[in-house]
């Protein structure tokens, strides 16, 4: 196994724009998934650290040190971050692969370069957002402005940590908010890396803190009276708790939660197009992406050919050392995640579904958290493995006789985050896609890009991120009643 340069223990926390000593001397061991070995340690965040971070954010917001800067000035700082990130793509990709096992090619292209592209897209969109509007009517005349929501707690999971940090931090900072970024301890290092870039780029003191906290301290942050808004990405179970607390406190929140997305393959679909799309969009990051299309819902007339092609595809995906650029399936992110995925595989075996491929652990990869790519076929749409988010390299196949049945299977889920439809007729595929109750549907494998919003229906969340709509989460709308001639000066 190869690893990047040894990472020294982290002794400080980034609080209010400064590297400061933590309130506690306790430490957390970080384990690299490829070897299951400890590779460094970080401070154990406490409620006292949260209090300090929120206090700094509140002070910076109320003082206006960032909030009162022009949009152009804020864009200048974020543009510098993009420049600095572009110079260190390989470094941060290596950090992420070490932290959570993402295959290095994916860490480079999606986790690092993709994060820069997302940052650039949000910077480009910011001037297009309608920060101000005027309304004239016989009943009165108004200037309507969008101002920053205040202090934001941005809670980020471990699977795509840099990208999800960017998708929250960028619109929040461009809107003028102050932010406490809360990554998981497992992926603290890339968050500290990003904090350092923001500091170098000229973000004023107090505006950003980074606290890699456990669930208990994270809950304390989300319910802190000094926080105005919680932006949470994670499991649906945890999201419910965040929403309940925010509802009790009347605190604003947006939630990007789990998914169990379906790829609908119509009878006329070109399998030469379908299979590469499933490879790219169903098994990304060793299956640990919430928008992965893990339920393959296909016409019964193509069942045998599709099964053969899926098995061939899975066998051709190299499994192993995530630092090998040819590897497509790396280790799962943690011992807990490995146990979870193996539990679902055993559930699939006992459910009566056919095991087309996999269902075990590779015998030649040592102590890392590896599981063989697995396909269950002819799965009951109500089975546990078809209904619950597995978050590993496990696919299920389901077959239909009519398109109405296909739509019903695709919609037979508590989730509604993502999906795909494949057909030789793209307009017909779009008609079918309109019947699927999800926030995004990719037609013939085409993604919407970083200008499009993402988010879910049903238990997949509340609100949207990215695109112009992504700014909505970080603003409050304020109306000013003014004389008509004054309103006209703002038009």
Q: Which residues pair with 254 in a beta bridge?
A: 231
For residues 177 and 147, the answer to whether their CB atoms sit within 8 Å is: no
How many angstroms separate the Cα of 480 from the Cα of each of 136, 140, 142, 144, 145? 12, 10, 5, 6, 8
Fold observed for domain 13-257+460-478: Aldehyde Dehydrogenase; Chain A, domain 1 (3.40.605)
In the chain, domain spans: 13-257+460-478, 261-449
Q: Active-site residue 246, yes or no? A: no
Angstrom distance (rounded) from CA 280 to CA 276: 6
Burial of 41 (0-12, 13-18, 19+ CB in 10 A): middle
Q: Which residues pair with 415 in a beta bridge?
A: 458
Q: Write down the pLDDT at residue 3.
A: 53
Catalytic residue from among 99, 253, 256, 389: 256
* Residue whose C-alpha is closest to residue 394's, from 443, 466, 329, 445: 329
Taking phi over 0 as left and psi of -120 to 50 as alpha, with beta for the rest, 461 belongs to left
Based on the residue annotation, tell me whether 256 is a catalytic residue of this protein.
Answer: yes
C-alpha span between 234 and 155 (Å, rounded): 8
Strand partners, 192: none
Q: List the one residue out of 456, 406, 455 whose CA is nearest residue 433.
A: 406
* Residue (of 178, 182, 168) closest to 211 by Cα position: 182
Which helix (H) or strand (E) segment is 217 a member of?
helix 215-222
Number of neighbouring beta carbons within 10 Å of residue 165: 25
**The pLDDT value given to residue 4:** 47
User: Considering only CA atoms, which of 168, 193, 188 is closest in space to residue 179?
Assistant: 168
According to CATH, the topology of domain 261-449 is Aldehyde Dehydrogenase; Chain A, domain 2 (3.40.309)
pLDDT in tens, the chain (491 residues): 455 446 889 999 999 999 999 999 999 999 999 999 999 999 999 999 999 999 999 999 999 999 999 999 999 999 999 999 999 999 999 999 999 999 999 999 999 999 999 999 999 999 999 999 999 999 999 999 999 999 999 999 999 999 999 999 999 999 999 999 999 999 999 999 999 999 999 999 999 999 999 999 999 999 999 999 999 999 999 999 999 999 999 999 999 999 999 999 999 999 999 999 999 999 999 999 999 999 999 999 999 999 999 999 999 999 999 999 999 999 999 999 999 999 999 999 999 999 999 999 998 898 899 999 999 999 999 999 999 999 999 999 999 999 999 999 999 999 999 999 999 999 999 999 999 999 999 999 999 999 999 999 999 999 999 999 999 999 999 999 999 999 999 98
- Give the integer Cα–Cα distance in Å for 145 and 476: 8
What are the residues whose beta carbons fall under 8 Å from the beta carbon of 94, sequence distance 6 or more?
Answer: 4, 104, 107, 323
8 A C-beta contact, residue 229 and residue 476: no
DSSP string, 309-357: HHHHHHHTS-BS-TTSTT-SB---SSHHHHHHHHHHHHHHHHTT-EEEE
pTM of the full structure: 0.96
DSSP letters spanning 402-464? SHHHHHHHHH-SSEES-EEEE-SSHHHHHHHHTTS-SS--EETTB---TTS-B--EETTEES-
Please state, in angstroms and as integers, the Cα–Cα distance from residue 482 to each residue in 178, 195, 395, 491, following that order: 30, 41, 59, 13
CB 110 within 8 A of CB 160: yes
- Using a CB cutoff of 8 Å and minimum separation of 24, what contacts does 409-412 make? 409/262, 409/295, 409/297, 409/381, 410/262, 410/264, 410/295, 410/297, 410/436, 411/435, 411/436, 411/437, 412/381, 412/382
What local confidence, expressed as pLDDT, does residue 1 receive?
45
Bridge-based pairing state of the strands 442-443 and 293-299: unpaired
Which residue out of 99, 246, 290, 403 is catalytically annotated?
Answer: 290
Query: By the 8 A CB rule, do 416 and 439 touch?
Result: yes
Terminal alpha carbon distance of the chain: 62
468: burial class by Cβ within 10 Å (0-12, 13-18, 19+)?
A: middle
Domain 13-257+460-478 and domain 261-449, same fold? Reply is no
């Amino acid at each position: 196994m190869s690893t990047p340069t040894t990472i020294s223990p982290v002794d400080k926390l980034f609080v209010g724009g400064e590297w400061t000593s933590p309130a506690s001397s306790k430490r957390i061991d970080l384990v690299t998934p490829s070897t299951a070995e400890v590779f460094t340690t970080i401070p154990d965040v406490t409620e006292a650290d949260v209090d300090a971070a929120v206090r700094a954010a509140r002070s910076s917001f109320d003082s206006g040190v960032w909030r009162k800067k022009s949009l152009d000035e804020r864009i200048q700082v974020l543009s510098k971050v993009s420049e600095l990130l572009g110079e260190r793509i390989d470094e941060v990709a290596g950090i992420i692969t070490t932290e959570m096992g993402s295959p290095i090619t994916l860490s480079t292209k999606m986790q690092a370069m993709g994060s820069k592209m997302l940052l650039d897209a949000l910077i480009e969109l910011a001037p297009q957002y309608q920060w101000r509007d005027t309304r004239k009517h016989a009943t009165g005349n108004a200037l309507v402005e969008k101002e920053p929501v205040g202090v934001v707690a941005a809670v980020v999971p471990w699977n795509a940590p840099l990208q999800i940090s960017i998708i929250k931090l960028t619109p929040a900072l461009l809107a003028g908010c102050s932010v406490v970024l809360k990554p998981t301890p497992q992926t603290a290092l890339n968050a500290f890396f990003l904090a350092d870039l923001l500091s170098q780029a000229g973000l004023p003191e107090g505006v950003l803190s980074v606290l890699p906290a456990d669930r208990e301290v994270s809950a304390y942050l989300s319910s802190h009276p000094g926080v105005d808004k919680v932006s949470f990405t994670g499991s649906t179970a945890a999201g419910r708790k965040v929403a309940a607390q925010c509802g009790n406190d009347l605190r604003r929140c947006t939630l990007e939660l789990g998914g169990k997305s379906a790829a609908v393959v119509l009878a006329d679909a070109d399998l030469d197009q379908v299979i590469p799309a499933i490879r790219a969009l169903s098994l990304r990051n060793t299956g640990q992406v919430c928008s992965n299309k893990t339920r393959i819902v296909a016409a019964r007339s193509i069942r045998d050919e599709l099964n053969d092609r899926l098995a061939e595809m899975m066998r051709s995906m190299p499994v192993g050392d995530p630092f090998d650029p040819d590897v497509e399936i790396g280790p799962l992110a943690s011992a807990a995640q490995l146990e979870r995925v193996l539990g679902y595989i055993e559930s699939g075996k006992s459910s009566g579904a056919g095991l087309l491929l996999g269902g075990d652990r590779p015998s030649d990869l040592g102590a890392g958290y590896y599981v063989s790519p697995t396909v269950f076929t002819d799965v009951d749409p109500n089975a546990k493995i078809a209904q619950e988010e597995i978050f590993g390299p496990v696919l299920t196949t389901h077959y239909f006789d009519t398109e109405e049945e296909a739509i019903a299977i695709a919609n037979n889920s508590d989730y509604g985050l993502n999906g795909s439809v494949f057909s030789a007729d793209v307009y017909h595929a779009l008609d079918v896609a309109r019947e699927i109750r999800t926030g995004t549907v990719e037609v013939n494998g085409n993604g919407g890009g970083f200008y499009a919003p993402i988010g879910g229906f049903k238990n997949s969340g509340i609100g949207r991120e990215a695109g112009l709509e992504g700014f909505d989460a970080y603003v409050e709308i304020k109306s000013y009643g003014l004389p008509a001639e004054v309103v006209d000066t703002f038009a």
